[in-house]
């Protein structure tokens, strides 16, 4: 997963353009993908697909011909979606087009202007303060023209057409935790899911933020009713504890499964309520859809200093953190896959467990069997039993397996 991030890091992505396509070509080496290209000008609900942005070079040169700011050193230097510019200007004329972070003088900020036509450079505060009075040659060799918005899907069919949706952004340039960690974990989750038999079908979306989710929803309005749960993955590669933001429903299966898994993950975690701001859960949980989708992060966007700066680089994400995030996702999907309803075949009084070698006194093993037998009334699912008993779902599942073997339980279709 870390190697995938390292390979994708140099590419200059945006909400449209060849950077997204190059990224998808890399992902295609790991998982099968279906590419969609939505033409500029297409109406998607209340939005319109914008022009496609591509960039080749950008710089600020001083009068001696030295590039004092250079896109080739970091693609963050260009305000993402800048209109093209070629001009010579004084430091004072240039100044309104420059942004920096005074508190972190060596970091480059990441800024965008998707829907207002502007040009600009993002620079370190040291670069900004080092600009002498001079005539500067300014060049942004970009194009904004009619083209397409690109997104891709990876579909892993299961026994039913009920779907689990996993979504991540592919629109950020050289930033690691924000975007690339989600892309990487989603890619390897798709591979893990495809490896074993499954009840649900899974769909993985690699889409540009906001407009991509809206475009996908607009083109898949009917299909959305099949979605029984899902996750938006963002910032899942840093060393911080987990944060899970519940779906708008608040009590969807995905919310309950995530609470169970995080409780026993051995890593600090926090559960947060839904709010209509953040990543693409905003679109998936809009009232017309109200999909059961939450958002999993480690450190939360906007709450760590490296967020949207050049410090969100290859040193900020860690292989072990990526692996742990993948493990949590795999475990959550496993909980959803196995959340079945059972019926106790001997509901009149407790069955004689001792005679069957299933009585082990006052142990949690025994207690989990008693909870399952009591709540297996055809109405309670395994998640219900785990929540009501306060026991680990893994223990509940072990008890279910044993009781099934002894004919004391039957699955309810």
Q: What are the residues binding Zn ion (CB under 5 A)?
A: 178
| Residue whose tokens read 């509940």 | 396
Q: Per the structure block, which two tokens stand in for 170?
A: 């592919």
Decide the pairing of beta strands 377-381 and 341-344: antiparallel
Q: Per the structure block, which two tokens stand in for 148?
A: 């397409």
Number of other residues whose CB lies within 10 A of the CB of residue 195: 9
Decide the pairing of beta strands 377-381 and 293-297: unpaired
Nearer to Zn ion, 1 or 76 (CB): 76
Nearer to Zn ion, 113 or 345 (CB): 113
Q: Per the structure block, which two tokens stand in for 267?
A: 């890593």
Number of other residues whose CB lies within 10 A of the CB of residue 102: 8
DSSP string, 231-275: EEE-S-SSSSPEEEEPPSSSS-HHHHHHHHHHHTSSS-EEEE---
Compute the least distance from the CB of residue 402 to Zn ion, in Å: 47
Nearer to Zn ion, 77 or 198 (CB): 77
Nearer to Zn ion, 300 or 341 (CB): 300
Nearer to Zn ion, 178 or 280 (CB): 178
Q: Per the structure block, which two tokens stand in for 39?
A: 């033409």
With beta carbons less than 8 A apart as the criterion, state whether 150 and 36 touch: yes
Number of other residues whose CB lies within 10 A of the CB of residue 360: 13
Q: Buried b vs exposed e over 35-64: b needs ≥16 C-beta within 10 Å?
A: ebebebeeebeeeebbbbbbbeebbbbbee
Q: 3-state class of 176 per DSSP?
A: helix
Compute the least distance from the CB of residue 256 to Zn ion, in Å: 28
Compute the least distance from the CB of residue 171 to Zn ion, in Å: 8
Name the residue with the smallest CB distance to Zn ion.
Answer: 178
Nearer to Zn ion, 55 or 180 (CB): 180
With beta carbons less than 8 A apart as the criterion, state whether 57 and 67 touch: no
Nearer to Zn ion, 178 or 339 (CB): 178
Nearer to Zn ion, 244 or 304 (CB): 304
Compute the least distance from the CB of residue 210 to Zn ion, in Å: 11
With beta carbons less than 8 A apart as the criterion, state whether 173 and 76 touch: yes
Compute the least distance from the CB of residue 178 to Zn ion, in Å: 4
Nearer to Zn ion, 94 or 149 (CB): 149
Compute the least distance from the CB of residue 78 to Zn ion, in Å: 16
Compute the least distance from the CB of residue 237 to Zn ion, in Å: 13
DSSP string, 117-133: ----EE--HHHHHTPPS
Compute the least distance from the CB of residue 46 to Zn ion, in Å: 22
Compute the least distance from the CB of residue 184 to Zn ion, in Å: 15
Number of other residues whose CB lies within 10 A of the CB of residue 300: 17
Nearer to Zn ion, 112 or 247 (CB): 112
Q: How far apart are the C-alpha atoms of 179 and 186, rounded to whole Å?
A: 11
């Amino acid at each position: 997963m870390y190697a995938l991030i390292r390979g994708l890091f140099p590419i200059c992505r945006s909400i449209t353009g060849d950077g997204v396509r190059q990224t998808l070509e890399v992902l295609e080496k790991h998982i099968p993908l279906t590419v969609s290209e939505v033409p500029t000008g297409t109406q998607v609900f209340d939005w319109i697909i914008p022009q496609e942005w591509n960039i080749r070079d950008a710089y600020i040169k001083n009068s001696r011909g030295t590039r004092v700011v250079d896109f080739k050193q970091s693609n963050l230097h260009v305000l993402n979606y800048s209109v093209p510019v070629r001009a010579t200007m004084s430091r004072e004329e240039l100044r309104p087009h420059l942004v920096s972070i005074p508190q972190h003088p060596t970091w480059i900020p990441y800024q965008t202007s998707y829907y207002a036509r502007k040009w600009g450079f993002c620079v370190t505060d040291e670069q900004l303060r080092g600009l002498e009075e001079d005539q500067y040659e300014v060049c942004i060799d970009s194009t904004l023209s009619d083209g397409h918005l690109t997104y891709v899907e990876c579909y892993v069919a299961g026994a039913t057409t009920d779907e689990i949706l996993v979504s991540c952004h592919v629109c950020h340039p050289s930033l690691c935790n924000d975007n690339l960690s989600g892309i990487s974990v989603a890619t390897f989750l798709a591979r893990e899911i495809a490896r074993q038999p499954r009840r649900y079908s899974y769909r993985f979306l690699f889409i540009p933020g906001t407009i991509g989710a809206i475009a996908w929803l607009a083109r898949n309005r009917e299909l959305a009713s099949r979605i029984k749960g899902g996750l938006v993955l963002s910032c899942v590669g840093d060393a911080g504890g987990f944060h899970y933001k519940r779906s708008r429903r608040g009590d969807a299966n995905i919310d309950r499964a995530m609470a169970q898994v995080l409780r026993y993950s051995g890593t600090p975690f926090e559960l947060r309520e839904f709010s209509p701001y953040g990543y693409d859960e905003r679109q998936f949980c809009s009232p017309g859809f109200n999909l059961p989708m939450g958002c999993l992060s480690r450190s939360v966007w906007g709450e760590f200093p490296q967020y949207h700066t050049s410090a969100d680089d290859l040193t900020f994400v860690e292989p072990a953190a990526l692996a742990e995030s993948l493990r949590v996702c795999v475990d959550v999907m496993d909980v959803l896959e196995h959340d079945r309803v059972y019926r106790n075949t001997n509901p009149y009084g407790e069955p004689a467990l001792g005679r069957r070698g299933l009585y082990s006194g006052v142990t949690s093993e025994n207690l989990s069997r008693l909870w399952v037998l009591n709540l297996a009334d055809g109405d309670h699912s395994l998640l219900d039993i785990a929540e009501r008993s306060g026991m680990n779902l893994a223990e509940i599942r072990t008890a279910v397996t044993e009781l099934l073997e002894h004919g004391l339980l039957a699955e309810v279709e």
